[in-house]
């Protein structure tokens, strides 16, 4: 047996071997048949569900040559044309027709660097069908490209199909593995057959004793919601410490999420304990900044995850909708609001020989003290006067001061 990795060794040779994507395959065949009605096809879908395999098998089935491009080729217009002229405008050497494959188009930068426009220009000129694969073709930068192409969406493979495929591979390899472990592998890969084959290969090579714990769960973004749920609602275990590894966020932002959501899960003693842990996490964060001693990150992370999780054993199991942090927004809004107030107070403070800090303490009386006539005295602008008049009106109305007026 050759030592090719499983993912190459067991790549589908023809379209019939590709499992679980029947309707997509039918559409792809139709595209080729109808060419050049539509000149390009986009195959869109998550990683490891057979996009590239479909294209390879399609070329083989139709006895066509495959001409592969990548994103960096596109940017280099001169060399691209040199290669493509013979490729896209003439028939190939052995009278074989061609498919031009633009694999993993997500790597193309946006319009600014010319990647997408170049691709569009190429589609307009080409005499050969172009197939583009992508993980997220709905990204804004592809909007023009989408109009030029037929689009096929590939679904995530379901667990049973993955199980079928890897069972087949085990058989062909003449190896043995317990069904439980096969199910585990299929389950963990979350529809990514490439990941499943890699895991299977490592388990078979290392022996089953090493077992499944050694297979890292694919670093799918389980997201901050999952992380919060794990901390707040599930028992504290080894995984709690790694809960933020899968969250695509800076730890500072995670701190804000925790801060926002602790009160919706904990009450009384656990609440105080949870905030105490959060406070300790922040303490270490401060020390990291000041001392540039990054090992403290371990403790920051510990208190933020395990520390908060350990605040109680009696966890809430009810579904909670976690909130986005609101504090930053509130600070921003307050700053907008305070800008007028600040310029006002500064003028008042200068006029009255006092510091801004002291003036701030008298601020609550200013709307009543400063009136239209003092505009000149304090050199106020219309904005500031309007602001004061508003405040004054609101205060008098809401407080029942009106009844004292004569």
Partner 1 sequence: MENFEDSTIWTEKYRPKKFEEVVGQDDIIKRVHSLTRTMNIPHFLFAGPAGTGKSTLALIVVKELFGNTWKENYLELNASDERGIDVIRQKVKDFARTKAIGKVPFKVIFLDEADALTKEAQQALRRTMENFTNTCRFIMSANYSSKIIDPIQSRCVIFRFKLLEKKDIEKRVRVIAEKERLQIDDKTIESLYESSEGDCRRVINLLQASSSISPNITVELLNTLISNAKPADIKVVLEYALSGDFIKAKEKLLDVMLRDSISGTDIIKSIQKETWNLQIDNELKVKLTEKTGEIEFRLVEGSDEFIQLEALLASFVLAGRGVMK
Residue 106's contacts (CB-CB under 8 Å, 6 or more residues apart) are 134, 135, 136, 139
Residue among 34 and 401 whose Cβ is closer to partner 1: 401
Asked if 338 touches partner 1 (CB under 8 A), the answer is: yes
Which residues from 342-401 bind partner 1, rule CB under 8 A?
Answer: 342, 348-349, 351-358, 360, 362-365, 367-371, 373-374, 376-378, 395-396, 398-401
Residue among 108 and 304 whose Cβ is closer to partner 1: 304
Residue 310 CA to residue 236 CA, distance in Å, equals 7
In the complex, the smallest distance separating the C-beta of residue 376 from partner 1, rounded to whole angstroms, is 8
Q: Which of 178, 248, 330, 379 forms a contact with partner 1 (CB under 8 A)? A: 330
Residue among 140 and 376 whose Cβ is closer to partner 1: 376
Residues 339-366 as b/e (b if ≥16 CB within 10 A, e otherwise) read: eebeebbebbbeeeeeeeeebeeeeeeb
Residue 17 CA to residue 53 CA, distance in Å, equals 10
Q: Which of 47, 249, 259, 389 forms a contact with partner 1 (CB under 8 A)? A: 259
User: Collapsing DSSP states into helix, strand and coil, what is residue 315?
Assistant: coil
Residue among 298 and 365 whose Cβ is closer to partner 1: 365
Range 285-292, long-range pairs (CB < 8 A, 24+ positions): 285/251, 285/252, 285/255
Residue 94 CA to residue 268 CA, distance in Å, equals 79
Quick one: tokens of 324?
């986005």
103 burial via Cβ count (<10 Å: 0-12, 13-18, 19+):
middle
For residues 134 and 106, is the Cβ–Cβ distance under 8 A? Answer: yes
In the complex, the smallest distance separating the C-beta of residue 291 from partner 1, rounded to whole angstroms, is 10
For residues 99 and 64, is the Cβ–Cβ distance under 8 A? Answer: yes
Quick note: the x/- pattern for partner 1 over 69-98, rule CB under 8 A, is ------------------------------
In the complex, the smallest distance separating the C-beta of residue 113 from partner 1, rounded to whole angstroms, is 38
Calculate the CA dihedral of residues 60, 61, 64, 70 and round it to 10 degrees. -50
Residue among 34 and 369 whose Cβ is closer to partner 1: 369
In the complex, the smallest distance separating the C-beta of residue 174 from partner 1, rounded to whole angstroms, is 58
Asked if 298 touches partner 1 (CB under 8 A), the answer is: no
Residue among 205 and 398 whose Cβ is closer to partner 1: 398
Asked if 251 touches partner 1 (CB under 8 A), the answer is: no
For residues 87 and 53, is the Cβ–Cβ distance under 8 A? Answer: no
Which residues from 268-297 bind partner 1, rule CB under 8 A?
Answer: 268-269, 271-272, 274-276, 278-280, 282-283, 285-287, 289
Number of residues located near partner 1, criterion CB under 8 A: 59
Per CB under 8 A, residues contacting partner 1 are 255, 259, 263, 268-269, 271-272, 274-276, 278-280, 282-283, 285-287, 289, 327, 330-331, 334, 338, 342, 348-349, 351-358, 360, 362-365, 367-371, 373-374, 376-378, 395-396, 398-401, 404-406
């Amino acid at each position: 047996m050759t030592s090719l990795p499983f993912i190459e060794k067991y790549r589908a040779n023809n379209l019939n071997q590709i499992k679980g994507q029947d309707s997509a395959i039918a559409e792809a065949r139709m595209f080729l048949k109808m060419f050049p009605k539509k000149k390009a096809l986009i195959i869109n879908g998550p990683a490891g569900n057979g996009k590239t395999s479909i294209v390879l098998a399609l070329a083989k089935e139709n006895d066509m040559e495959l001409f592969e491009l990548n994103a960096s080729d596109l940017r280099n217009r001169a060399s691209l044309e040199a290669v493509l002229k013979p490729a896209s405008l003439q028939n190939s050497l052995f009278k074989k027709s061609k498919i031009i494959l633009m694999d993993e188009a997500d790597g193309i930068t946006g319009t600014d660097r010319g990647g997408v426009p170049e691709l569009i220009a190429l589609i307009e000129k080409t005499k050969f069908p172009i197939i583009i694969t992508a993980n997220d073709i709905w990204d804004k930068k592809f909007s023009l490209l989408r109009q030029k192409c037929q689009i096929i969406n590939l679904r995530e493979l379901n667990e049973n199909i993955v199980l079928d495929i890897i069972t087949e591979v085990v058989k062909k390899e003449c190896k043995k593995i317990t069904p439980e472990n096969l199910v585990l592998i299929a389950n963990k890969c979350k529809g990514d057959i490439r990941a499943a084959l890699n895991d299977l290969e490592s388990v078979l090579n290392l022996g089953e004793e090493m077992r499944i714990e050694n297979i890292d769960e694919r670093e799918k973004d389980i997201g901050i919601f999952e992380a919060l749920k794990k901390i707040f609602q599930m028992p504290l275990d080894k995984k709690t410490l790694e809960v933020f590894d899968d969250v695509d966020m800076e730890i500072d932002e995670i701190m804000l999420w925790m801060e926002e959501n602790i009160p919706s899960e904990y009450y009384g003693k656990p609440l105080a304990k949870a905030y105490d842990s959060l406070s300790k996490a922040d303490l270490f964060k401060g020390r990291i900044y000041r001392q540039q001693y990054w090992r403290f990150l371990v403790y920051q992370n510990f208190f933020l995850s395990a520390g908060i999780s350990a605040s109680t054993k009696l966890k809430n199991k009810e579904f909670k909708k976690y909130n986005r942090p609101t504090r930053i927004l509130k600070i921003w809004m307050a700053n907008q609001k305070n800008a007028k107030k600040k310029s006002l107070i500064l003028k008042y403070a200068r006029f009255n020989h006092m510091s801004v800090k002291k003036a701030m303490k008298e601020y609550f009386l200013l709307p009543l003290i400063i009136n239209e006539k003092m505009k000149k005295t304090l050199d106020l602008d219309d904005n500031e006067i309007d602001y004061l008049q508003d405040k004054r009106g609101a205060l008098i109305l809401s407080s029942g001061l009106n009844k004292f007026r004569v």
